[in-house]
């Protein structure tokens, strides 16, 4: 069975490759705006489902993987920043405190679907204005939930992480593997062999 990643994120593709999966890439084009009153967990799960569902009809016979990641601090959702000013504002909110990284993951094939949400707690040290300006000028904030990349220069800012590291990068590989095994076993997470062809 084929695996299709419904994302243009090079970070997600790299994580899957490093974990030994063979897959194709087919980015989804959906409206990612948050609905009024939608909780963060509901948002990432809905977007992951919609991404997988949007790509699935073009890839019959494949398992399509959709994912969406965002950062939550004090109940506020931080998605991708809108330019340098947005990145500066987001990093200012994360400075010297803890935040939550949520990723929704969904698998879709024919009329079957399996999904879940991974949460990781990340703590930043206090950031000076120079820290923030240096980081934003480096260009790593663009296209990143919460305006930072933990596997890059922002690793200097992280004092503690509780939970899945790959989740903070952009795709919780442990959850993906659990869902794939459950999907192969009948649609529920945990146990069972991975579908043939999904692993190297």
Q: How far is CA 157 from the centre of its chain?
A: 20
- Please tell me the total count of domains within the chain: 1
For residue 64, being part of any structural domain is answered with yes
Q: How far is CA 32 from the centre of its chain?
A: 13
For the question of residue 68 being annotated catalytic, the response is yes
The CA dihedral of 173, 52, 78, 178, to the nearest 10 degrees, is -20
For residue 175, being part of any structural domain is answered with yes
Q: Which domain holds residue 82?
A: 2-185
For residue 72, being part of any structural domain is answered with yes
Q: What is the CA radius of gyration of the chain?
A: 17
For residue 151, being part of any structural domain is answered with yes
Q: Which of 115, 79, 82 is nearest to 6 (CA)?
A: 115
Residue 180, helix vs strand vs coil: helix
For residue 97, being part of any structural domain is answered with yes
For residue 191, being part of any structural domain is answered with no
- 154's CB contacts (< 8 A; 6+ apart) are 135, 140, 148
Greatest extent of the chain over all pairs of C-alpha atoms, in Å: 52
Residue 191, helix vs strand vs coil: coil
pLDDT of residue 183: 78
Which pairing describes strands 62-73 and 2-5: parallel, antiparallel, or unpaired?
parallel
Q: How far apart are the first and last CA of the chain?
A: 13
pLDDT of residue 186: 67
For residue 87, being part of any structural domain is answered with yes
pLDDT of residue 189: 43
Catalytic residue among 14, 29, 31, 68: 68
- Per residue of the chain (200 residues), give pLDDT as tens: 689 999 999 999 999 999 999 999 999 989 888 898 999 999 999 999 999 999 999 998 899 999 999 999 998 999 899 999 999 999 999 999 999 999 999 999 877 899 999 999 999 999 999 999 999 999 999 889 999 999 999 999 999 999 999 999 999 999 999 999 887 776 444 434 444 334 33
CATH assignment of the domain containing 66: 3.90.950.10
């Amino acid at each position: 069975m084929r695996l299709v990643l419904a994302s243009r994120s090079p970070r997600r593709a790299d994580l899957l490759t490093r974990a030994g999966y063979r897959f194709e890439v087919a980015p989804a084009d959906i409206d990612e705006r948050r609905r009024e009153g939608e909780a963060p967990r509901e948002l990432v799960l809905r977007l992951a489902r919609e991404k997988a569902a949007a790509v699935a009809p073009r890839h019959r016979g494949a398992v399509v993987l959709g994912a969406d990641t965002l950062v939550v601090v004090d109940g506020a959702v931080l998605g991708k920043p809108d330019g340098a000013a947005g990145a500066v504002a987001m990093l200012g909110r994360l400075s010297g405190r803890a935040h939550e990284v949520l990723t929704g993951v969904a698998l879709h094939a024919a009329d079957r679907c399996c999904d879940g949400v991974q949460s990781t707690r990340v703590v930043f040290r206090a950031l000076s204005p120079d820290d923030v300006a240096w980081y934003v000028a480096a260009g790593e904030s663009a296209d990143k939930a919460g305006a930072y990349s933990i596997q890059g220069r922002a690793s200097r800012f992280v004092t503690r992480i509780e939970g899945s590291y790959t989740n903070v990068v952009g795709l919780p590989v442990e959850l993906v593997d659990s869902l794939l095994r459950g999907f192969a076993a009948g649609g529920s997470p945990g146990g069972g062999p991975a579908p043939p062809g999904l692993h190297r």
